[in-house]
């Protein structure tokens, strides 16, 4: 039709010159009337859309071929699968689980606008993706998360990650972690003392504020050497970190992946202020610490030249930032921006993630008094009636507590979903992912597969007994990711969580009216309970029934 009208216009133009406009137009068919300017715009837009669509179909033909081979929810033009998968992260996660169940945990396709994502759930396929050197690049969803936490080791592009991981991996040694015990023990004592105000209350209180405050103190001292109670600057840091963490709720809005649009959006909703504040405070802390490090190095050099190294230098706690500055002085070549990104990454990873898991653990123990009794019996078998601090030699004796923590992380992994970009073709168990594919792994979904965990929606620490754990595929538990880009802070997290749970349960028993089936998740940067963690506490005043050896 468009070409017919164009041909007629050429003929009409010639005829008008010979016979006059009125008589000619009166005898033309309706579809052959001259095209108005607005019609031309419509036709041009349609033609442009067709050209762009054809170009995309050709450019991404290997993705369309892949999409034809694997199952998934129906897709619609422009919106992809969003009509079927809600744009809220919480509903998205539940729908991921449902689609995995519908397709027997085989790879599932999901279109988000023009982007094809492939969900990988089976441990065998997850292992292939996470262990592959062809899938080390973080996925497109991290483009927004980088605005929240920078390009630390968690979100860094592959080349930057290779360099930083090799350096940072040397920090998380047993020696480094052992010196943090006094920090953890001191802050845990403050936590249980503060909770005494709630003893005897019949109305539940939300334990989140108390636990996150303790964790923020832990990580601020372990990462930067500062105590939140002593510095107003750190309070600003915490507020900015909380606000900026809200950025990840926009990962399902593809238009915000365009930097210019994202910048305008965050300016008008006020998040830009907190992003700038987080950068400013972090850089100020780093400048202060660099000056302190330079002074201590100078002092140490003077002491060595006189043959005397100060005892306080030998015994002082060397925190994460100290270690980074030390490595920098030895040639690591971290810029202030690099240091800032790594400090923010550790602050987020070491506070919110641990706090979420601890709160869920307390809540689940309140629901399951029999499990709580077994945990307390184990604590008593190690520490007895003493009030002494927990030491590195004690920590590995809390084996049942570790099972409880792992089961908590199975049910409610803080990192409920993460993604990778395939840089070269990768063959899964029943299909091949072409170069450029966006792959997402969802621990929340894999952890609830009934073939891996019987009665997957129930709380059962025996899932992590040595026998059961050894019988499952290694990649059936993904709370700390896996492969080369797995979490470096696994030991830090487990130690800090164990120490807090021991301190809390030595002093109190916890109780709740909440039900496991009623828990709803809220997902921003991490997955947490939507409406808090309501508990009541009572003082411990009994000798355990059975002493666990």
Give the residue numbers of the binding site for heme.
487
Distances (CA, A) of 487 to 194, 241, 446: 32, 20, 18
456-to-104, 159, 408, 459, 526 alpha-carbon distances in Å: 15, 38, 12, 8, 21
Three-state SS for 60?
coil
Count, in order, helices (H) and strands (E) of the chain.
23, 12
E strands, 113-224, in order? 115-120, 137-138, 205-206
Residues 384, 327: Cα–Cα separation, whole Å: 42
Closest residue by Cα to residue 341 from 526, 156, 139, 143: 156
**Which residues fall within 8 angstroms of residue 493, CB to CB, at 6 or more apart?**
349, 350, 353, 354, 357, 480, 487
77: exposed, middle or buried (Cβ count in 10 Å: 0-12, 13-18, 19+): exposed
479 three-state secondary structure: strand
- CA distances (Å), origin 256, targets 52, 150, 263, 266, 383: 21, 17, 9, 10, 53
Q: State the binding site.
A: 487
Structure-block tokens of residue 289 = 């610490």
Neighbours of 75 (CB within 10 A): 18
Please give the Cα distance from 398 to 389 (Å, whole number).
14
The SS3 assignment for 84 reads coil
Burial of 152 (0-12, 13-18, 19+ CB in 10 A): buried
Which two structure tokens, joined as six digits, stand for 138?
Answer: 């973080």
Angstrom distance (rounded) from CA 396 to CA 408: 18
Give the closest residue to 519 by CA, choosing from 458, 469, 476: 458
Question: Tokens 């040397």 identify what position?
Answer: 170
Distance CA 288, CA 284 (A): 6
What's the rounded Cα separation, in Å, for the pair 178 and 325? Answer: 20
* C-alpha count within 13 angstroms, C-beta hemisphere, residue 331: 0
């Amino acid at each position: 039709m468009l070409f017919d009208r164009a041909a007629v216009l050429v003929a009409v133009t010639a005829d008008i010159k010979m016979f006059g406009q009125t008589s000619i137009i009166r005898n033309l068919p309706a579809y052959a009337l001259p095209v108005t300017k607005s019609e031309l715009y419509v036709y041009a837009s349609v033609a442009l859309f067709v050209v762009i669509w054809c170009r995309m179909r050709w450019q991404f033909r290997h993705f369309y071929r892949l999409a034809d081979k694997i199952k998934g929810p129906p897709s619609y033009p422009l919106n992809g699968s969003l009509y079927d998968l809600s744009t809220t992260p919480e509903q998205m996660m539940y729908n991921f689980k449902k689609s995995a169940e519908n397709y027997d945990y085989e790879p599932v396709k999901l279109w988000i606008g023009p982007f094809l994502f492939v969900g990988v759930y089976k441990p065998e396929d997850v292992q292939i993706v996470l262990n592959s050197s062809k899938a080390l690049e973080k996925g497109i969803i991290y483009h927004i998360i980088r605005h929240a936490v920078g390009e630390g080791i968690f979100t860094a592009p592959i080349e930057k990650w290779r360099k930083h991981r090799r350096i940072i991996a040397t920090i998380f040694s047993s020696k480094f972690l052992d010196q943090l015990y006094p920090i953890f023990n001191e802050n845990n004592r403050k936590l249980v003392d503060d909770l005494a105000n709630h003893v005897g209350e019949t109305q539940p209180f939300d334990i989140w504020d108390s636990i996150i405050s303790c964790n923020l103190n832990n990580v601020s001292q372990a990462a930067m050497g500062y105590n939140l109670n002593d510095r107003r600057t750190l309070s600003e840091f915490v507020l900015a970190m909380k606000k900026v963490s809200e950025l990840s709720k926009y990962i399902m809005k593809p238009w915000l992946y365009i930097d210019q649009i994202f910048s305008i959006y965050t300016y008008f909703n006020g998040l830009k202020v907190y992003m700038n504040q987080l950068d400013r405070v972090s850089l100020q802390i780093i400048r202060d610490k660099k000056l302190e490090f330079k002074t201590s190095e100078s002092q140490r050099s003077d002491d060595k030249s006189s043959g005397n190294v100060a005892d306080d230098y030998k015994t002082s706690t060397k925190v994460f930032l100290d270690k980074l500055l030390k490595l920098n002085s030895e040639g690591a070549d971290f810029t202030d921006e690099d240091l800032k990104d790594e400090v923010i990454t550790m602050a987020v990873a070491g506070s919110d993630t641990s706090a979420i898991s601890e709160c869920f653990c307390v809540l689940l123990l309140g629901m399951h008094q029999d499990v709580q009794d077994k945990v307390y019996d184990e604590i008593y078998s190690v520490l007895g009636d003493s009030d002494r601090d927990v030491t590195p030699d004690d920590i590995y004796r809390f084996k049942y507590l570790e099972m409880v923590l792992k089961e908590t992380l199975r049910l409610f992994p803080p990192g409920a979903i993460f993604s990778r970009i395939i840089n070269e073709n990768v063959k899964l168990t029943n299909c091949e992912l072409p170069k450029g594919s966006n792959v997402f792994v969802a621990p929340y979904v894999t952890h609830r597969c009934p073939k891996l965990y019987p009665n997957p929606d129930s709380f059962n620490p025996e899932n992590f007994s040595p026998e059961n754990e050894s019988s499952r595929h290694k990649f059936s538990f993904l709370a700390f990711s896996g492969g080369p880009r797995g979490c470096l802070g696994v030991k830090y997290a487990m130690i800090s969580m164990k120490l807090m749970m021991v301190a809390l349960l030595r002093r109190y028993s916890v109780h709740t009216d909440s039900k496991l089936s009623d828990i709803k998740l809220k997902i921003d940067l991490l997955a947490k309970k939507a409406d808090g963690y309501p508990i009541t506490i009572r003082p411990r005043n009994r000798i355990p029934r059975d002493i666990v050896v």
